[in-house]
Structure 1
Amino acid sequence: MSVQRLVRGLLAGVLVAAASGCVVVSSGGTEPRRPVPPGGLGRMNNASANAVPGDVVTGALRDVERFWSAAYPRVAGGAAFTPIKGGYHPYTRSDPAPACGGQAAAYQPNAFYCPAGDFVAWDAETLIPQLYSDFGPLLVGFVMAHEYGHAIQSRLGVTEQPTVVLEQQADCFAGAWTADVLAGRSTAFKSVTPAQLDNTVAGMLLLRDEPGTAAQNPQAHGNAFDRIRAMQDGVEKGVSLCADYRADNVPVTEVPFTTQEEAATGGDLPYAQAVDALSKDAQAYWARAYPQLTGQPWETLGVQAFESGSAPSCPAPDSSAGGAAFYCPDGDFIAFDDEQLGQQLYQRIGDNAVGMLLGDLFARAVQDRRGAQTQDRAGQLAVDCFAGAWTNDLLTRDPAAGIRLSPGDLDEAVAALLAFGRAGSQQEASAFDRIGAYRGGVLKGLPSCS
């Protein structure tokens, strides 16, 4: 894969979830920010080009009902499932959504569940066509499963939780439905591939809060790192875990900016400073962590940024990022294309996308030095977990002890993993799996990787 093709799909826009019980495209109340989807073109205002087949949404909702008819009794003490009674309502600018609780809704690119009317409504003009066009039908199904998750919360009587917990619980419920789809039981989605699942995860990046949103904000839905974690909880562990989500057991990493300067810069260091500071920090981390892992001292790892077409010689590179970065076992150094990879990651995602790149390369050196693989699936997931363990150190250290993560940095790492790790075959580690391995290192540290 060329570097140009690699970075073309980097996700530069933000679709911000900004209202309780819904998925909404907004950036503060006016026009939505327009994302750069995997194909590279935002067509947010061209609904005719994004027409969604009529049975995609209705088929997804029927399938979600099928799922809950079997799953609901398991989390409701044997009680039978009651489907939504208020119906399903697509809406447009000229044909608005029904009033909810007596309050007429102004048009928004949105999808929501209304508990007062017990109905689900969605924007059939902008939001759903955009998601379908850019990320595929499974993301549309996931959005509907998320909204139905709020109906399940209402039926279970578990709505007295912070909004950020309720939103992630709905993501978890939608993940449990996704697992049912992957198991082949869906009537609407057949033979879902790892690439389609990765597209759904990529779409979730756009359904996150803006960086700097506090988890305590009554409008908070969660950053991408937490929302994807919740989805993966549902996929991997099922509805019973989701039903137990509470404020005291859901790990929330969303934090506000701490200074005006941090908010103004988005928490990003200048590019050259970021490369230098992150390289030194990774070096210092592994000087501490590698002896714990292997009982051997860490030897300083060379770091080289090269110009396009002038990569340093290496007879058998351990490549990453489509070949634009690598660890060289013979020379014991790491290298990356400065302009076409490093700077592109920085400009289109942020400074911790560069951190994710360096974390990946340092982890490849760790694997090689300890005599382990990186190119098979298990080896790649170990690399991602080790990168997460360094992130864990950045998150948990004393703020005065060197650099630290800022709001949005975990989402930047996830975006970089999506750029590096889209599934190309059933044998490869998908971005879904790689994010899971990275998350394990982030939340549990180095012991979870060994």
Structure 2
Amino acid sequence: MYAYRVSRVLAVLVLVVAGCAVGWKSPDDGAPAPRGTSGDVVTKALRDVERFWTATYPELAHGRNFKPVRGGFFPYTRNDPPPACGGEEAGYQPNAFYCPAGDFVAWDAETLIPQLEAAFGSLLVGVVMAHEYGHAVQSRLGVTEQPTVVLEQQADCFAGAWTADVLGGRSTAFTGVTPEQLDNTVAGLLQLRDQPGTSARNPQAHGNAFDRIRAFQDGVEKGAKVCAGYRAGNVPVTEVPFSTEEEAASGGDLPYEQAVNSLAQDAQTYWGKAYPELTGQPWQTLRIEPFRAGSPPECPRPDASAGGAAFYCPGADFIAFDTAELAPTLYQRIGDNAVGMLLGDLFARAAQSRRGASTQDRAGQLTVDCLAGTWTSDLLTRDRGAALRLSPGDLDEAVAALLAFGRAGDDSGTSAFDRIGAYRDGVLEGLKGCSG
């Protein structure tokens, strides 16, 4: 009998969608370490990021040596605001920033950094500092004449390159980073995205979560040299504004019942086209069995997803998911495309199983995630007049759901970080991205 474990994914959802005054000026000024854990983490992070760039920068700059930030490092609070930047007085904001005019880095030591560390761990604090230092590197490389959204994603990529160095064991400040810590960092990046509907042309745009996490993973997987080549013409930016006032008012979300029915029908239609391309065989309509919490249909060996609250049944060839707790909670806490991600995962499991391939090991799980991404790719590239297409925020909803599924645990031992990367390949490259 199938073991029902919906509580695991629901508990993870709470974390995924959740959202100190120090006297420190510079890690090199000889001042005593600030009181509190966050100050200690920032100190060691900035020192380690400078270590990384001292070793890495010459390769990007035709042999020139790296020059560290000259203007210093400034934690600030409501009562002790950051220095002026380029003649513009800076008031208190829960933010972190690099000031090119003064060549300094500043951050909110009262709210932002302590909250990020408490919720998502010290590695995320390091990534935030590596991102801000990435802007200093841009200034030194002379690559600042790009749209803001490109520069922000390049800084995300640089932060990923530093993270790869940490994962490679070359850091003495951050050691023994676990897959769980990396997943926590991705969960934190999800909170640092632009609001859905922000245009990539907005001069303040940093990128949606899908794009920012993609850039971060680019750095982790491909290194700083690839990041340094980011330009407006080669960075895939998916951030778009809402197309109508009605879409903006709804946040792009369909009503729950309509979302479930429309997405299920669309997945059937998509795989009717994609499966023959993938296998040369026709797609047989996939039966869907919704069930109430605690009463799943009989399946001797279910291929489970979402912490066990959904599954594909290979023997009887159907998919099933909890419509009493799981799907409504995904919809309420994340949005309609979190339900789409659930259905995309289940249909991809069926496609992978039907063609005789594994879904249980690491390679099989990543292929499932990539195949789920190919459906998203189809939704993303449709004309605006299509009956069903992605709205702003939908990619972020899919990432949030996939993060919840991955962190709820599965038998493959695959991290949510890796699963999001595989999903990204399917979204950006379609079926050909899932052949590797």
Task: Quickly name the TM-score band, shorter chain normalised.
Answer: over 0.9
Q: Which residue of 2 aligns with 1:382?
A: 367
How many corresponding residue pairs? 417
User: Is the Cα–Cα contact under 8 Å of residues 377 and 430 in structure 2 kept in the other structure?
Assistant: yes
Deviates more, 1:96-105 or 1:283-292: 96-105
One-letter amino acid matched to 1:94: N
**Which residue among 429, 444, 450 is the counterpart of 2:414?**
429
Give the gaps of 5 or more residues in structure 1: 14-34, 38-49
Distance in 2 between residues matched to 1:112 and 1:387, nearest whole Å? 36
Distance in 1 between residues matched to 2:287 and 2:197, nearest whole Å? 34
Q: Which residue of 2 aligns with 1:68?
A: 53
**Which residue among 278, 294, 307 is the counterpart of 1:309?**
294
One-letter amino acid matched to 1:4: S
- CA, structure 1 residues 97+11, in 2 after alignment: closer, same or farther (shift >3 Å)? farther
Distance in 2 between residues matched to 1:175 and 1:149, nearest whole Å? 10
1:9 paired with 2:12, answer yes
Deviates more, 1:288-297 or 1:220-229: 288-297
**Which residue among 89, 98, 107 is the counterpart of 2:92?**
107
SS of match in other structure, 2:37? coil
Q: Which residue of 1 aligns with 2:31?
A: none
Q: CA deviation at 1:3?
A: 2.2
SS of match in other structure, 1:445? helix
One-letter amino acid matched to 1:118: D
Distance in 2 between residues matched to 1:314 and 1:424, nearest whole Å? 20
**Which residue among 258, 261, 272 is the counterpart of 1:276?**
261
SS of match in other structure, 1:113? strand
Distance in 2 between residues matched to 1:87 and 1:435, nearest whole Å? 36
- CA, structure 1 residues 115+423, in 2 after alignment: closer, same or farther (shift >3 Å)? farther
1:341 paired with 2:326, answer yes
Distance in 2 between residues matched to 1:141 and 1:335, nearest whole Å? 41
Distance in 1 between residues matched to 2:383 and 2:117, nearest whole Å? 44
Q: Which residue of 2 aligns with 1:19?
A: none
1:406 paired with 2:387, answer no
**Which residue among 118, 123, 130 is the counterpart of 1:145?**
130
Distance in 1 between residues matched to 2:302 and 2:389, nearest whole Å? 31
Q: Which residue of 2 aligns with 1:77?
A: 62
**Which residue among 355, 362, 369 is the counterpart of 2:354?**
369
Query: Which residues in structure 2 correspond to 1:13-412 (within 5 Å)?
Result: 36-37=18-19, 51-412=36-397
Distance in 2 between residues matched to 1:73 and 1:433, nearest whole Å? 30
Q: CA deviation at 1:12?
A: 8.4
User: Is the Cα–Cα contact under 8 Å of residues 148 and 204 in structure 2 kept in the other structure?
Assistant: yes
Deviates more, 1:153-162 or 1:425-434: 425-434
Q: CA deviation at 1:11?
A: 6.0
Distance in 2 between residues matched to 1:216 and 1:208, nearest whole Å? 15
One-letter amino acid matched to 2:151: L
Q: Which residue of 2 aligns with 1:28?
A: none
One-letter amino acid matched to 1:106: G
One-letter amino acid matched to 2:251: G
SS of match in other structure, 1:10? helix
SS of match in other structure, 1:9? helix
- CA, structure 1 residues 432+446, in 2 after alignment: closer, same or farther (shift >3 Å)? same
Distance in 2 between residues matched to 1:355 and 1:314, nearest whole Å? 23
Q: CA deviation at 1:188?
A: 0.6
**Which residue among 419, 426, 433 is the counterpart of 1:441?**
426
- CA, structure 1 residues 12+53, in 2 after alignment: closer, same or farther (shift >3 Å)? closer
Deviations 1:262-288 (A, max 9, x none): 000000000110000000000000011
Q: CA deviation at 1:305?
A: 1.5
Distance in 1 between residues matched to 2:260 and 2:319, nearest whole Å? 13
Distance in 1 between residues matched to 2:65 and 2:359, nearest whole Å? 48
Distance in 2 between residues matched to 1:387 and 1:419, nearest whole Å? 16
- CA, structure 1 residues 230+333, in 2 after alignment: closer, same or farther (shift >3 Å)? same
User: Is the Cα–Cα contact under 8 Å of residues 171 and 230 in structure 1 kept in the other structure?
Assistant: yes
Q: CA deviation at 1:77?
A: 0.9
Q: CA deviation at 1:427?
A: 6.3
Distance in 1 between residues matched to 2:66 and 2:397, nearest whole Å? 39
Distance in 2 between residues matched to 1:228 and 1:188, nearest whole Å? 23
- CA, structure 1 residues 51+275, in 2 after alignment: closer, same or farther (shift >3 Å)? farther
Deviates more, 1:276-285 or 1:297-306: 297-306
Deviations 1:34-91 (A, max 9, x none): x625xxxxxxxxxxxx953432101000000000001001111111100001111111
User: Is the Cα–Cα contact under 8 Å of residues 110 and 123 in structure 1 kept in the other structure?
Assistant: yes
One-letter amino acid matched to 1:390: W
User: Is the Cα–Cα contact under 8 Å of residues 136 and 200 in structure 1 kept in the other structure?
Assistant: yes
User: Is the Cα–Cα contact under 8 Å of residues 11 and 415 in structure 1 kept in the other structure?
Assistant: no
Q: Which residue of 2 aligns with 1:27?
A: none
Q: CA deviation at 1:187?
A: 1.9
Q: Over the residues paired in the alignment, what is the CA RMSD in angstroms? A: 1.7
One-letter amino acid matched to 2:394: D
Q: CA deviation at 1:404?
A: 0.2
Distance in 2 between residues matched to 1:383 and 1:171, nearest whole Å? 27
Structure 2 length-normalised TM: 0.93
Q: CA deviation at 1:103?
A: 1.9
Structure 1 length-normalised TM: 0.90
User: Is the Cα–Cα contact under 8 Å of residues 12 and 408 in structure 2 kept in the other structure?
Assistant: no
Q: CA deviation at 1:428?
A: 1.3
Identity of aligned residues (%): 74
- CA, structure 1 residues 401+383, in 2 after alignment: closer, same or farther (shift >3 Å)? same
Distance in 2 between residues matched to 1:366 and 1:421, nearest whole Å? 20
Q: CA deviation at 1:180?
A: 0.1
